[in-house]
Structure 1
Amino acid sequence: MFPKLLSVVLLALVASASSLTITPHVRHEYRRSIPSGWNAVHRASPTAVLPLRIGLVQPGLEELEKHLLDVSQPESPNYGQHWSAGRVAETFRPSKQSVDTVREWLHSEGIDASRVKLSKSGGWIEATVSVQEAESLLKTHYSVYEHESTGTQHVACGSEYHLPEHVSKHVELVTPTLHFDVKLKREPVEELEKRVSKPGTAKTIGQPGHGVVVPKTTGRINIKSIFQELSQCDQFITPNCLRALYKYVYVPLVPNKNSYAIVEYTPQAYLASDLDLFFKNFSSSQIGQRPNLVSIDGGVVQTDQTGFEYNGESNLDLQFGMALVGKKQPVTLYQVGDIPQGASFNNLLDALDGSYCTFEGGDDPLQDGIYPDPLPGGYKGGPDCGTVKPANVISTSYGYNEADLTPAYTARQCAEYAKLGLMGVTVLYSSGDNGVAGNGALCLNPDGSQTNDGKIFNPSFPGTCPFVTSVGATQVNPGAKVTDPESACMQVIYSGGGFSNYFAMPDYQKSAVKNYLTKFPPSFAPNLWNATGTSRAFPDISANGANYVVAVNGNFSRVFGTSASTPVVGALLTSINDARIAIGKRPIGFINPTIYSAKFAGAWNDVTSGTNPGCGTPGFAATPGWDPVTGLGTPNFAKLLVQWLLLP
Structure 2
Amino acid sequence: MHVLKHIHFADAHRPSQALANGGQGYFPADIRRLYNIPTNLTGAGQTIGILEFSSGYSLQDATLFWQMHGITPPNVVFVSVDGTRNDGGTSVDDEEASLDLQWAAAIAPGARFVIYEANAGETYPEFEAAMLRTLNYIVNDHLHQPSVLSISYGDGEDSFDAEALQSIADLIQKLDERGVTVCIASGDQGAYGLHNPFGPYARHADAPATSPHAVAVGGTHLYAHGGECAWTYLGPQNGGASGGGFSDIFAKPPWQTAVPGHARGVPDLALNADPASGYQIVFQGQSAIVGGTSVACPVFAAIIALANERRATLGRKPLSSLPQYLYTYANKLGFHDIVVGNNTYNGVIGYEAIPGWDAVTGFGSVDATQFIDTLVKDVP
Same fold (TM over 0.5): yes
1:564-621 C-alpha deviation (Å, 9 max, x unpaired): 1000000111000000011100111231111111464451111111111125234111
Match of 2:105 among 315, 319, 322: 322
Per-residue deviation at 1:388?
5.6
Q: Quick one: distance in 1 between partners of 2:370 and 2:102?
A: 25
**Does residue 335 of structure 1 match 2:117?**
yes
C-alpha change, 1:260 and 1:455, in structure 2 (3 Å) is: same
Aligned residue type for 2:371: L
Per-residue deviation at 1:252?
4.0
Per-residue deviation at 1:490?
2.4
Per-residue deviation at 1:337?
3.4
Q: Quick one: distance in 2 between partners of 1:254 and 1:582?
A: 11
C-alpha change, 1:633 and 1:298, in structure 2 (3 Å) is: same
Query: What is the RMSD of the two structures over their aligned residues, measured on CA atoms?
Result: 2.7
Structure 1 contact 213–431 (Cα < 8 Å) conserved: no
Match of 2:298 in 1: 567
**Does residue 418 of structure 1 match 2:186?**
no
Match of 2:236 in 1: none
C-alpha change, 1:333 and 1:212, in structure 2 (3 Å) is: closer
Match of 2:11 in 1: 215
**Does residue 349 of structure 1 match 2:349?**
no
> 272-281 or 537-546: which moved more?
272-281
The 5 A counterparts of 1:4-43 are: none
1:271-304 C-alpha deviation (Å, 9 max, x unpaired): 1221133123223533xx552222211132113x
Q: Quick one: distance in 2 between partners of 1:599 and 1:339?
A: 39
1:151-185 C-alpha deviation (Å, 9 max, x unpaired): xxxxxxxxxxxxxxxxxxxxxxxxxxxxxxxxxxx
Aligned residues: 367
Match of 1:112 in 2: none
1:445-488 C-alpha deviation (Å, 9 max, x unpaired): xxxxxxx25332122101111111100011124xxx333x2011
Match of 2:272 among 508, 524, 544: 544
Structure 2 contact 44–111 (Cα < 8 Å) conserved: yes
The 5 A counterparts of 1:473-622 are: 473-477=219-223, 481-483=224-226, 485-491=227-233, 492-510=239-257, 512-514=258-260, 533-546=261-274, 547-598=278-329, 600-622=331-353
C-alpha change, 1:247 and 1:425, in structure 2 (3 Å) is: same
Aligned residue type for 2:59: A
The 5 A counterparts of 1:182-197 are: none
**Does residue 457 of structure 1 match 2:212?**
no
Per-residue deviation at 1:235?
6.9
Q: Quick one: distance in 2 between partners of 1:428 and 1:579?
A: 19
Structure 1 contact 441–614 (Cα < 8 Å) conserved: no
Q: Quick one: distance in 1 between partners of 2:70 and 2:244?
A: 33
The 5 A counterparts of 1:378-389 are: 389=144
C-alpha change, 1:247 and 1:534, in structure 2 (3 Å) is: same
Q: Quick one: distance in 1 between partners of 2:158 and 2:143?
A: 30
Q: Quick one: distance in 2 between partners of 1:552 and 1:482?
A: 28
Structure 1 contact 469–591 (Cα < 8 Å) conserved: yes
SS at match of 2:302: helix
SS at match of 2:249: strand
**Does residue 623 of structure 1 match 2:354?**
yes
SS at match of 1:473: strand
**Runs of 4+ deviating beyond 6 Å:** 338-343
Structure 2 contact 155–195 (Cα < 8 Å) conserved: no
Structure 2 contact 84–117 (Cα < 8 Å) conserved: yes
**Does residue 297 of structure 1 match 2:107?**
no
Structure 2 contact 28–69 (Cα < 8 Å) conserved: yes
Structure 1 contact 301–335 (Cα < 8 Å) conserved: yes
Q: Which has the bigger relative contact order, CA under 8 A and spacing at least 6? A: 2
**Does residue 313 of structure 1 match 2:60?**
no
C-alpha change, 1:617 and 1:439, in structure 2 (3 Å) is: closer
Per-residue deviation at 1:216?
2.4
5+ unaligned residues in a row in structure 1: which ranges? 1-149, 151-203, 355-385, 443-451, 515-532
> Looking at CA atoms only, which structure, 1 or 2, has the larger radius of gyration?
1
1:425-449 C-alpha deviation (Å, 9 max, x unpaired): 100111010101123254xxxxxxx
Q: TM-score, normalised by structure 1?
A: 0.53
C-alpha change, 1:338 and 1:508, in structure 2 (3 Å) is: closer
Q: Quick one: distance in 2 between partners of 1:459 and 1:570?
A: 21
Structure 1 contact 244–482 (Cα < 8 Å) conserved: no
Q: Quick one: distance in 1 between partners of 2:376 and 2:332?
A: 16
Q: Quick one: distance in 2 between partners of 1:254 and 1:461?
A: 28
Q: Quick one: distance in 1 between partners of 2:202 and 2:67?
A: 46
C-alpha change, 1:315 and 1:290, in structure 2 (3 Å) is: farther
Match of 1:242 in 2: 31
SS at match of 1:440: coil
